[in-house]
Structure formats: C-alpha cells, structure tokens
C-alpha cells in the first residue's frame, strides 16, 4: 500500500522544526556563518532581474554533502530534504547581464572552489523559518536579503578556472570541456548558472541551467553513439529510489528514445511522455527537465560501451515521492539503473513484460501513452540500402 504524500510531508517538516534547536535561532537571525558547499542559486522570478546568492549552512567544516547530488545515492527522502532545508539562501537582486562586479565575482570564485568555503552573511532583516513543502516545488531553507557578505579564500578547480578565463570558448564547448575533464555535472550546472561560461555571458536561472547542461552533454553523446554498432540483445535495467521506480529497455535499433512518466495525484493516474530519433527533439519536452536528465544518463552508458540502441524509459512516480527534490534524482536514478546487472529478453514484447513486472501500471497502459512502437514500425532511409 502506498504511503500518503501529505502525511510524509507533515512528518518531514515536523522533524525539521525539531532539528532547529541544534542551531539556536539561525532561522530568525540576521546573520549566518558557515561553510558553503560551493553552492550558489539563481532564481527565475522577475527575470531578467533575478535573485542571486550563495547557500550557507549554520555550520563550519566539510559540508560538501549538503549540495552534492552525485553523492546522494542510497540516502532517504528525509535526509535529502534536510540537506536542502539546512542551507540558508542569501539573495540580492541582479540583472542577468551583470556577470562582473565584486558580488558576482565572489560567487564565481565560490563556485570554482575545490572545497567548502567559510562564509559570513549579514541580512537586511532576520530570515524567516516558514518553509513550504507543497509537493510541487523543491524545498528551500530560510531566505534572507544580503546586506553584506564575506567569503574566505580557497583553492580553485584548475579546469574550471581555465575555462572561466577562456572567453573565446562557446558555452556549449565550455560545458563539454568541463564534462570531459571529469567535473561533476552539478558543478558544471552551477558554473553555467553564475555566468562563467561562453562568449556572451549571462546569469542563467538555476533550473534552466540544469536542463541546458543535460541537453548539451546528451546531444554530444548521441553524436558519438550514432557511429557505433547496434546493441545485439534486448536489455532491461531497473532501479528504485525516493519513491521513483525506473525501468530502461535497450533494443536493437538505430537511436530512438522515449521517456514515459506516470504519477498519482489525489488517487488519479496521470501520464506524460516525449520522444526523439536521430534528429533530436524540436520542442520543449512535455516532461520537462526529466527528459534530458534521463537521456544523459542512458547515453553515457551507450557511449561508454560503444553501442547504439533504441531506448525506452519508464518512470513510475509513487506517492512516497512526496517532496520533489530536483531532476538530478532522475539522472542519478538512471545512472544507478545502468550500473545494475541487466536482464536479457527474447523480443521487445517480452522486454516490456519484464520491465513492468514490479510496476503498478500494466504494460498495455504504458504503451498506450507513448509512441515508440509506432516509431519502431516506421521505415528509415537505412532500410532501403
């Protein structure tokens, strides 16, 4: 039996307020001192003048885990939400064209840092401890308008520093350069957001930079795999975390990709999907950033193994996923799925049986909400040669 989303949210919020006693009155103070896990956030409200600032917990030391999605595998929803809520978000309103000046340059240095940076933020008035967990938006800790900010010096990530100072490098090439240098995707997204990449630099709202980064990298990986030979079997991968159940089917076919999501809202089942072939997708996906996050993870697997395939991803979002924590969990969930031992099927229909076996939604329901079967039946130019 699925848990009740509202009860889960109430429980997590109650425990967080209880946890506040560890840090005194930091949520009603006009000052916070702590080690920022090299974390910055750019809002989208009132664009092109947006609220920009660092995220700082009321503790010093190694706080990297508080804003490092790549290291959250195996963590509970409550743990991850608490990571988010314990980061105080400082803000100043800035034009997206303002990528220079002391405040922004301090944030760029913070983003380049190799380790958490000791930070002192003074706010114009005390922050408020009212936190909203509405089931729609990723949670935030207290927010305060910054009156003054001080950051300690720290060593910088050399590959990021090099890319930052190369103003002849296009943003797309800069993203790929950092990715190929081994920089974590979440770190690249922050560099993109705080106006550190490209020739014509701008601040980019965090949620937009996340999608843009995933899109740029996954497109590049698709180009690589188009030259690879086809996968020789039907492979099914699965993984479950944070109330999300993922199934991935790879099948012998030139690159086509579809992701179908299903979720429960007040007991009613809803669906969303989108797909592409080798030409890519020419419109914003109906399932938004999750589409590109999943695509990035599965194309990483294909590129690493030097194979090309058709891909179908099924994502069942259960009520236990009571508080959205960001599309990073889709990328990391699919990455984890692709690291599992896969099951081999005889054909596509058999693969669907296996992929949907643990799901509460039937195979026929999934297929009726997508279009990949129709796409598979269409002839391509390659079929005539």
What pTM did the predictor assign?
0.93
Identify whether residues 149 and 294 lie together within a single domain: no
Identify whether residues 379 and 233 lie together within a single domain: yes
Number of domains in the chain: 2
Domain-located, residue 334: yes
What is the model's pLDDT at position 129? 67
Domain-located, residue 130: yes
What is the model's pLDDT at position 63? 95
Q: Which two tokens stand for residue 271?
A: 């669906």
Exposed / middle / buried, residue 288 (Cβ in 10 Å: 0-12, 13-18, 19+): middle
Q: Which two tokens stand for residue 119?
A: 């930070």
Q: Which residue from 295, 302, 304 is spatially nearest to 331, judged by alpha carbons?
A: 295
Residue 196's pLDDT band (boundaries 50, 70, 90)? very high
What is the model's pLDDT at position 2? 55
pLDDT per position as a tens digit, 202-238:
999 999 999 999 999 999 999 999 999 999 999 999 9
Q: By three-state DSSP, how is residue 379 classified?
A: coil
Asked if 78 contacts 12 with a C-beta cutoff of 8 angstroms, the reply is: yes
Give the residue numbers spanning the domain of 62.
5-163
Identify whether residues 141 and 266 lie together within a single domain: no
Domain-located, residue 22: yes
Identify whether residues 156 and 232 lie together within a single domain: no
Residues 6+ apart with CB under 8 A from 81: 12, 16, 133, 139, 323, 325
Q: Which two tokens stand for residue 235?
A: 């492979």
Identify whether residues 157 and 266 lie together within a single domain: no
Identify whether residues 349 and 241 lie together within a single domain: yes
CA dist 113 and 56 (Å) reads 14
Q: Which two tokens stand for residue 274?
A: 């989108």
CA dist 323 and 6 (Å) reads 9
Domain-located, residue 48: yes
DSSP states along 15-69: HHHHHGGGGTTGGG-SEEEEEE-S-EEE--TTTTEEEEEEEE-S--S--GGGG-G
Domain-located, residue 219: no
Select from 163, 184, 209 the last residue of a domain: 163
CA dist 107 and 41 (Å) reads 10
Select from 163, 179, 212 the last residue of a domain: 163
């Amino acid at each position: 039996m699925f848990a009740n989303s509202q009860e889960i949210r109430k429980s997590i919020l109650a425990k967080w307020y209880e946890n506040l006693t560890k840090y005194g009155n930091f949520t009603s103070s006009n000052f916070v001192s702590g080690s920022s896990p090299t974390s910055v956030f750019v809002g989208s409200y009132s664009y092109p003048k947006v609220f920009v600032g660092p995220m700082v917990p009321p503790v010093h030391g190694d706080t990297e885990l508080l804003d490092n999605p790549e290291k959250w595998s195996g963590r509970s929803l409550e743990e991850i939400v608490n990571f988010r809520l314990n980061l105080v978000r400082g803000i100043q309103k800035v034009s997206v064209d303002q990528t220079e000046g002391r405040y922004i340059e301090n944030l760029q240095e913070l983003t380049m840092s190799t380790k958490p940076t000791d930070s002192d933020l003074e706010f114009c008035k005390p922050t408020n401890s009212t936190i909203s967990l509405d089931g729609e938006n990723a949670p935030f800790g207290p927010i305060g308008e910054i009156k003054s900010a001080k950051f300690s010096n720290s060593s910088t990530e050399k590959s990021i520093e090099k890319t930052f100072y190369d103003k002849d490098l296009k943003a797309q090439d800069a993203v790929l350069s950092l990715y190929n240098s081994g920089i974590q995707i979440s770190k690249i997204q922050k560099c993109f957001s705080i106006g550190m990449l490209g020739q014509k630099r701008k601040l980019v709202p965090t949620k937009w930079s996340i999608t843009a980064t995933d899109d740029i990298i996954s497109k590049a990986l698709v180009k690589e795999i188009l030259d690879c030979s086809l996968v020789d079997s039907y492979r099914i991968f699965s993984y479950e975390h944070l109330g999300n159940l993922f199934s991935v089917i790879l099948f012998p076919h030139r690159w086509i990709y579809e992701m179908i999501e299903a979720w429960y809202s007040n007991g009613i089942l809803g669906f969303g999907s989108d797909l592409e072939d080798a030409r890519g997708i020419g419109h914003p996906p109906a399932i938004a950033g999750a589409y590109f996050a999943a695509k990035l993870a599965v194309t990483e697997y294909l590129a690493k193994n030097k194979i090309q395939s058709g891909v179908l991803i099924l994502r069942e979002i259960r009520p236990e996923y009571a508080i959205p924590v960001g599309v990073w969990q889709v990328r990391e969930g699919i990455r984890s799925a692709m690291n599992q031992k896969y099951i081999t099927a005889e054909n596509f229909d058999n693969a669907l049986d296996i992929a949907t076996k643990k799901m509460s939604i039937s195979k026929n329901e999934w297929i009726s909400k997508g279009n990949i079967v129709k796409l598979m039946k269409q002839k391509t130019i390659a079929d005539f040669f």
